[in-house]
Amino acid sequence: MTEAYGCMTCNVGATVPNFRLETYEPSKGDFGEISLESQMASKKWTILFFYPADFTFV
């Protein structure tokens, strides 16, 4: 989340703000993008978790 949203708490089943994130797709070896809007348009269930510094390639 950005500073624009400040400190927020999300609960199961709660509506979250629209987001757009850069992703890395290991099977393709390339970067991409995902957004809540695209997931909802595809009628896909979405689980969002944030764990700083995990999955970081350094």
- Is the pLDDT at 41 greater than 90? The verdict is yes
As a whole number, mean pLDDT of residues 21-48 equals: 87
Phi-psi region of 38 (alpha: psi -120 to 50; beta: other; left: phi over 0): alpha
Q: Which residues, other chains included, contact 17 with Cβ-Cβ below 8 Å and sequence gap of 6+? A: 1, 5, 36
- Is the pLDDT at 1 greater than 60? The verdict is no
Distance (Å, whole) CA 14 – CA 24: 27
- Host H or E run for residue 36: helix 36-41
Enter the pTM of the model. 0.51
Domain limits, the chain: 19-46
pLDDT of residue 11: 77
pLDDT tens digits, one per residue of 2-30: 445 555 666 777 777 888 888 888 888 99
Lowest average pLDDT, out of 21-25, 30-34, 50-54, goes to: 50-54
